[in-house]
Amino acid sequence: MALDAHLAQVLQMMANPAAKPMHEGSPEEGRAAYLALTHGTRTPEQIAPVASVADAVVDGAAGPLKARIYRPEGAGPFPTVVYFHGGGYVIGDLDTHDNMCRDVCRGAKAVVVAVDYRLAPEHPFPAGIEDAIAAARWVVAHARELGGNDIVGVAGDSAGGNFSAVVSQQLRDAGINLAAQFLIYPAVDHAAAEYPSAEQNGKGYFLESDTMTWFYKHYASGVAETMDPRLAPIQAENLANLPPALVVTAEFDPLRDQGAAYAEALRAAGGKAELIPGPGMIHGFFDMGRWSPVAQDIIERSTRRFGEMLRGQ
């Protein structure tokens, strides 16, 4: 399928020959640019409405972490979802992913707890994933206070999809059963170059190969070639008995093939994994529904389906 016409306009809007590519800048510059593109481009009417939003604190691996709790309209009890934002483990925060968390809250009819985990390079691997595991454990322990029942799932996009997959594995090994995992164009294998989509879509579609290399250099320099499943959950020895997974991919995304491969690997291990492809979509489209009707349709369908999976449907 051709690139979505609305997203093609977005890419054209972002194309600035005078601007320095992210991989040539500092993490601080990358964070500021990402915040400006996401939170900074929203207009008031584009903010997805939910019943309430409140800042909070959850446990991390090395101390308290900032968090944000989104509650849906209606009467509970609701499932609770721990959300880990994307951004290559280097950029992104609670504000960049505010609308995405609102969409998950609305579509899944779940309480969403967004976690502001530590970022690289100030806190390289495994700090961020250790925070994610600790925060998920905290949410499981407080689920009845948050959502009102014992149903807990995880969700995340890109690097956050990596964290959601890893958390699902780590909690399974600890005897904690999550209800479902929502993996939005997840980064599940550091050997990205081995997948055709990495070469096909490595330039010109928002997330580029040079940027991915820059992310990994900051996050996991010196250990990225190991088979540590906390870096590459698709490399884990045991993929059985994991929570049902909903995997969303984008056609023009370098991560497309590894996301699809992870869904297939989960099914091959006897698990339940559903794949929702994103025809005409690019990496990051989950925050671009305000610009693309096709993107918005996928956002609504997938968040609704995730809500059903949380409830065992």
Q: Indicate which residue of 158, 164, 168, 197 is catalytic.
A: 158
Catalytic-residue membership of 116: no
Amino acid at 112: V
Query: CA torsion angle for 35, 135, 125, 278 (degrees, to 10)?
Result: -50
- Per annotation, catalytic residue among 85, 189, 283, 287: 283
Catalytic residue status for 97: no
Catalytic status, residue 52 = no
DSSP letters, 57-100, are EEE-SSSEEEEEEEE-SS-S-EEEEEEE--STTTS--TTTTHHH
> Which candidate in 253, 257, 287, 292 is catalytic?
253
d(CA 129, CA 117) in angstroms, rounded, equals: 8
Gyration radius from the chain CA atoms: 18
Residues whose CB falls within 8 Å of the CB of residue 6, separated by 6 or more in sequence, listed in order: 288, 291, 292, 293, 294, 295
Q: Which residues are catalytic?
A: 158, 253, 283
